[in-house]
Amino acid sequence: MRRHSLKVRGQRALITGGQRGLGAAFAAELLRRGADRVYVTARTPKASDDPRVIPLPLDVTDPDSVAALAEAAADVAIVFNNAGVAGGIPLLQTTPETISAIFDTNVLGPIRVAQAFAPLLGHHDESLLVNLHSVLSWLAGAGAYGASKAALWSVTNSLRLELRAQGTSVVGVHLDLADTDMTARFTDHVKISPADVASRVLNAIERGEEEVLVDDASRAAKRLLAGPVQELIARL
């Protein structure tokens, strides 16, 4: 899907979970493309040597923490919902409490951020909300994590409609495994570098795309949605 493009140069952006892994790669790529300021969050943020990078605390499961973040980063036109947790494989062996905790972070967390920042994004003529999904949004076999990413995909599609009137584009990103700490245990799986992910996503955003399929695995998985459900199996 395609809408108007948004150029990064001169913009101020926020990345949840922005101090490591994909989040750090997005921050670096935004700065490389001329972003004016990038807020990066962590539960316990570390200081940055770059004055353009502003670390801020965030727990996406805590409404007060999200509200404080929106107050501290009220000038942003770009928000990346990147923070998330893995876990919960398989469903029948995962406690409801663990499943609930995963959904609280991976689904309700991005919703809390979207609700807090939507009015702020609406102050700009053009603005952007980016939600990080997964190829596992569409494939079976990843337990509560995959289910949470499938739910986030649905959330993104609804937010795209709800925010369009105020000029905020909503972008959903799907990708296979990136080479981060979260995927370290998958030693036999080919992984894409976080820098490549960030470059491809920002290229797509600047072309005006509202859905980004980062790699061949994601493109193949989306094609499978039109076929038998038995084919929707994650190859982990």
Is 39 designated active site? Answer: no
Of the candidates 7, 39, 145, 191, the residue annotated as catalytic is 145
| Positions of E strands within the chain | 12-15, 37-42, 53-57, 78-81, 127-132, 168-174, 211-213
Closest of 22, 7, 24 to residue 206, by C-alpha: 7
Residue 159: partners with Cβ closer than 8 Å, 6 or more residues away: 114, 129, 131, 170
Q: Which of 7, 149, 191, 222 is catalytic?
A: 149
Q: Is 7 a known active-site residue? A: no
- What is the set of active-site residues? 145, 149
